[in-house]
A and B are shown apart, each in its own frame.
Chain A
Amino acid sequence: MEWATDKQDILLRVEGLYKVFPQHRNLLQVLTKQPEKLLKAVDHVSLEVVRGEILGLVGESGCGKSTFAKSMIRLLEPNGGTISFDGVDLTALSREAHRKVCKNFQVIFQDPYSSLNPRMTIGKAIEEVLLYHHVCDKLEVAQRCKEIMRQVGLDEEMGSRYPRQLSGGQRQRAGIARAVALHPKLIIADEPVSALDVSIQAQILNLLLKLKRELNCTMIFISHDLRVVRYISDRVAVMYLGKIVELAPADELYQNTAHPYSQILMQANPSLDPRLRKKNSLVEGELTSPIDLPTGCRFRPRCSKAVDICSREEPELRRLGPGHFAACHYISPNGSEIPNVVKKGTDVT
């Protein structure tokens, strides 16, 4: 099966990535030998990231999007699956070897208040990265540090400040500076603007776009804010309970939303134009527990269109159009909704 739009230069190929968190058992459960319950945060997900694109990853809180992204670069150790980054099999690397290659992929974290060491000045934090990975030697490190700070829009004098002396936006710029200091090929931006004021969000987004152009890198942009994702992404993947349920070029996804879950997400997104606001919008029910997944389609308990087959078979991602994939029994390959019966094992490429 082919996930990307065309035969393109693939930077990162993730296949069957699997990450579970064992749930704590109490003493009684251990003694009675009850099986350990597993929280399937990422459930056999495959994805290809094309060199140079910005891939948006959206979903509700707790759907596993951050875990997925962190497992991709082994910041969290995946329990299964293969990761191929620029031709290198990341899962096969030792921890030492992984440490050496990890300057190729960097993370921008969500909370600029906790992602910087409170006892280290901004300048020191950036210089530390440069020196540790031998990007430059001690003589030019101060100069390089200043260049990078200028690149992300921080004044040079901020270098001697501690994180607590900076505003949220400035801190996030510092976090970005630290991530781009190594000229990574892939940047994973894990909700980089959701902790910031709306007025600052736009500045940071534009900074990310500018840096992406300047560094000529690839980006995975995680967010629960669909407007932000639409603004920045080339392609968007929608995640639900550890699975990708829809994957499409950004405009296609927003215009021809296929999966019922994506549709609900779109409706939940308030429109600025009151005439476009829909009345019935909000999704019913709570997020299903990722520990006790329902049989068949995992969105079934909340889906208004669920039919018989949805409780029996788990839908696979199927191609709906150029680069547009969705995992739903209800949708036919041409994108229109069809009644319940979809033959098992329908081959779609």
Chain B
Amino acid sequence: MKIDPLQKLMQNKSLLIGSIIVLFLVVLAIVPSLFTSYDPIALDPTAILEPPSARHIMGTDEYGRDIWSRIVYGTRLDLLIGVGAMIVPMIMGTAIGLLSGYYGGKLDSLLMRILDVFMAFPYYVLAIGIVAILGAGTKNLFIAMWLVGWKEYTRLIRSEVMVVKNMEYIQAAKSLGYSDGKILFRHILPNVVSNSIVYGASDIVMCILAGASMSFLGLGVQLPTPEWGAIISGGRAYLSTAWWITVFPGVLLIISGLGFSLIGDGLSDLLRAEDH
């Protein structure tokens, strides 16, 4: 009755398509030089604001830089922001949610009040505020996103833990004399972590968009480093005359968002099915 993982993947359409898209992006990020021969930063005064053509398939910007090349080289940074800004809050939020849900009482009250403070601010207001204090830049962008992103994981995991900790198998683990640490990490965590993983897959989309938005606002990645949000921001002034500068990175942003969303959907189907 064994179904091998590959067969499972083939049956799960959204996971399959999502994985193909993300795999493509990952290849772009790892070996950008395979896909373009242009330098993403070098200026070319002879090819300023050229529309898409055989020479520059997505046109050029106001400094004559190839848009496709900038997009390709930007992929690495955007994926890094997406994954990096997702993973740290995921671990942090999951750990806080575990402790809060399992121990309850005063610890729970304290952690939940701290969480309330963070929840009180809209995502961007808090992120922009933190970057404003720390100063613009890629490093500070990460710090801001880590501080802002953990709370959803905490709420999700905490509520799950509160259900799971009353299950009989946790009582059984207690009656077997297991320590709290063992119960938390061996018996509760494996039963709640799928929620974090599923949420995380769609959170990557949020993080890529947020990273691009922050860069668009000039608070994240600084020019001339190629990054999708920054490219879109740079093309804003030429929107009516050179649409290709903003549209193509936008399309890539949408495609990558779609890819991670599909993976999230597929994972949730897969993990939920496994639970029942």
- Counting chain A CB atoms within 10 Å of each CB, which of B167, B171, B176, B186 scores highest? B176
**Known A-B contacts A73-B175, A129-B176; A117 and B168 likewise in contact (beta carbons under 8 Å):** no
Q: Is the CB of B168 within 8 A of A75?
A: no
Sample of 7 further A-B pairs with CB below 8 A, known A103-B177, A119-B191: A99-B178, A107-B171, A109-B171, A114-B169, A117-B187, A129-B176, A133-B176
Mask for A14-44, Cβ within 8 A of B = 1, else 0? Answer: 0000000000000000000000000000000
Q: Is the CB of B177 within 8 A of A107?
A: no
Least CB distance from A307 to B in Å reads 42
Mask for A80-124, Cβ within 8 A of B = 1, else 0? Answer: 000000000000000000111011001101110011111110000
Q: Is the CB of B175 within 8 A of A107?
A: yes
Total A-B residue contacts, Cβ distance less than 8 Å:
59
* A interface list, Cβ under 8 A from B: 73, 75, 98-100, 102-103, 106-107, 109-111, 114-120, 128-129, 132-133, 164, 175, 178, 182
Q: Is B252 an interface residue (CB 8 A)?
A: no
17 example contacts (A-B, Cβ-Cβ < 8 A) are as follows: A73-B175, A99-B177, A99-B178, A103-B176, A103-B177, A109-B168, A110-B168, A114-B167, A114-B168, A116-B169, A117-B173, A117-B187, A119-B190, A120-B187, A128-B186, A178-B176, A182-B176
Within the complex, which residue of A98, A103, A115, A132 is in contact with B168, where a contact is CB–CB below 8 Å? A115
Within the complex, which residue of B167, B177, B186 is in contact with A133, where a contact is CB–CB below 8 Å? B177
Q: Is B174 an interface residue (CB 8 A)?
A: yes
Main secondary structure of the interface of B (DSSP, over half): helix
Residues of chain B at interface, number, CB under 8 A:
19
What are the 10 A-B residue pairs with the smallest beta carbon separation, nearest first? A115-B168, A102-B177, A119-B190, A99-B177, A114-B168, A107-B175, A117-B169, A109-B168, A115-B172, A75-B175
A315 to B182, CA, bound (A): 46
A31 to B208, CA, bound (A): 48
**Known A-B contacts A109-B168, A132-B182; A102 and B175 likewise in contact (beta carbons under 8 Å):** yes
Within 8 A of A (CB), among B178-204: 178-179, 182, 186-187, 190-191
